[in-house]
Amino acid sequence: MSDLNPAVITFGLYLVVVIGVGFWAYFSTKNFDDYILGGRSLGSLVTALSAAASDMSGWLLMGLPGAIFAAGLTEAWIAVGLTIGAYFNWLWVSGRLRVHTEFNNDALTLPDYFFNRFGSSNIALRIVPAVVILIFFTVYCASGIVAGARLFESLFHIPYHEAMWWGAFATILYTFIGGFLAVSWTDTMQASLMIFALLITPVMVLLALGDWSNLQMHISQATQSNGVQYGSWFAGASWIGIASALAWGLGYFGQPHILARFMASESVQSLRNARRIGMTWMILCLAGAVAVGYFGVAYFSANPEQGANVFANKERIFIELAQILFNPWIAGVILSAILAAVMSTLSCQLLVCSSALTEDFYKGLIRPNASQKELVWMGRFMVLLVAGVAMLMASNADSQVLKLVSYAWAGFGAAFGPVILLSLFWKRMNAWGALAGMIAGAATVIGWVQLRQAGAGGIFDLYEIVPGFIACTVAIIVVSRMTKSDDVAESKFEQANAKYLTDAAQ
């Protein structure tokens, strides 16, 4: 490992603080409810920033700036789609899900919610969603490990595989020890770091280039040299490309790690303030990430001798700009923001996988009378198990963060998004409809990707979340209509809905 320098020292101090928070949360974790949902005690600020930070993983500081650096503003349609999707997720889902999960036997996980929402008789409603979570979240966790490895590889100048172990260690440790409270408290700190880094870095690039006219001049030079219309939102983009980018917004309705923050909030009222805080943070961070990639085009056009690492791997652009433009002490803080983005998402993904294995498989099928202490320790063991599998998937040094994230995001959005929405708005939906929708959505995403990789072009270039979301919605409606309604489930839905409307009116 390289000799210590100010950036490394600052970076190391950040890691110490995060792990310290994990130990602090350990002593506040009394039972499995605390470990998985923090006792449903999160206030507006922590709910907002925790949901935002767990949403915006390493792709925000690596994948998205890298895509903008490579193809220009046509890739920024992803940011537009995400902003729209996130807003409506807060507006339509957050409060209702908070009430419905508590009303349905105080459900701690999405599989637990589905099982209790649709009659508590079909065990497949625990198994199928838990399997979907494990499949797609393991891929998602792998993306976080790859992003962390890239950071440690760059900062410490060590081989990729060694960097992968260092990058994953701290996140696994504080998640293992502190559970949901550690993840949520550190997310709040990490969200603050991320917005600081994403707002200050474009400013530093602009100052380094002199002014806006110089920046635009160098982007024009890059356009002429590379043949890429960096400043255009439409150049080289097809309707399939734009629709695919906007469709990222559909994914929000089915992301378990984001929905868990809604379930953990202290009240419906607190979610209104959380929406305002979370959306403001998100818009500023996405704008900053786009600016990092776009301004980076100008910077490395003006200084090509400094861009060897970025030209080799475009997802390193944020890392390289931080190391070039900032004082080493500040660079350590900026680089910590990348690790913060990785850790905030990876930690909650590990926790959701752990909760699915512990609550829905171990407790639901094997040990229904397990003690709280046993469940907490089983949850910790499952964190290690899922992390190990994700690290095996991330061992390919050529893995790209954005590709891994897009696949997992589509899987959850298509398998769970319509199920969540219709379960909160349509009382006629039943267990068979929910199962059919989940299976249809997940299978469509997997099949669509396989066909595209096999060389099928045309419509198969469309982002797989779109056909998956449609297939899931159609399957839910058709199968629910074709099968018998559940009077008990419908009555429970009406009571929960009435409770939500009362709480929302206060």
Which of 195, 134, 191, 60 has its CA nearest to residue 360?
Answer: 134
* DSSP character string of 90-101: IIIIIHHHHHHH
Which of 277, 221, 237, 304 has its CA nearest to residue 94?
Answer: 277
φ and ψ of 370, to 5 deg: -60, 145
Residue pair 318/331 in contact by the 8 Å Cβ criterion: no
Residue pair 463/408 in contact by the 8 Å Cβ criterion: no
Per-residue pLDDT of 273-313, as tens digits, reads 999 999 999 999 999 999 999 999 999 999 999 989 899 88
What's the pLDDT band for 428 if we cut at 50, 70, 90? very high
* Mean pLDDT (whole number) for 58-86: 91
Tokens standing for 320?
A: 């390289």
Give the C-alpha separation, 454 to 460, whole Å: 10
Which of 57, 52, 128 has its CA nearest to residue 404?
Answer: 57
Give the C-alpha separation, 196 to 331, whole Å: 12
Estimate to the nearest angstrom the gap between the alpha carbon of 400 and the chain centroid.
Answer: 16
pLDDT at residue 97 is higher than 50: yes
Q: What is the pLDDT of residue 39?
A: 54
Give the C-alpha separation, 128 to 149, whole Å: 32
* Mean pLDDT (whole number) for 249-277: 88
Domains annotated for the chain, with CATH where assigned, are 6-505 (1.20.1730.10)
Give the C-alpha separation, 421 to 416, whole Å: 9
What's the pLDDT band for 479 if we cut at 50, 70, 90? very high
- Contacts of residue 273, Cβ cutoff 8 Å, sequence gap at least 6: 44, 45, 48
- Contacts of residue 338, Cβ cutoff 8 Å, sequence gap at least 6: 58, 61, 62, 147, 151, 197, 318, 319, 322
Angstrom distances, CA of residue 93 to CA of 197, 390, 407, 471, 478: 30, 29, 23, 21, 23
Residue pair 405/66 in contact by the 8 Å Cβ criterion: no
Give the C-alpha separation, 489 to 276, whole Å: 33
* Mean pLDDT (whole number) for 244-273: 89
pTM of the model: 0.84
Per-residue pLDDT of 159-198, as tens digits, reads 888 888 887 887 777 667 666 666 666 777 778 888 888 9
- Long-range contacts: 312-316, Cβ < 8 Å, 24+? 313/66, 313/150, 314/66, 314/67, 314/69, 314/70, 315/62, 315/63, 315/65, 315/66, 315/150, 315/400, 315/401, 315/402, 316/62, 316/66, 316/150, 316/154
Which of the two residues, 480 and 348, has the higher pLDDT score? 480
What's the pLDDT band for 32 if we cut at 50, 70, 90? low
The b-or-e profile of 372-398 (16+ CB within 10 A means b, else e) is eeebbebbbebbeebbeebbebbeeee
What's the pLDDT band for 2 if we cut at 50, 70, 90? very low
Residue pair 8/151 in contact by the 8 Å Cβ criterion: no
Residue pair 472/465 in contact by the 8 Å Cβ criterion: no
- Long-range contacts: 447-451, Cβ < 8 Å, 24+? 449/407
Q: What is the pLDDT of residue 495?
A: 92
Angstrom distances, CA of residue 218 to CA of 74, 201, 214, 221, 293: 18, 18, 6, 5, 14
- Residue-level length of the chain: 506
Which of the two residues, 218 and 382, has the higher pLDDT score? 218
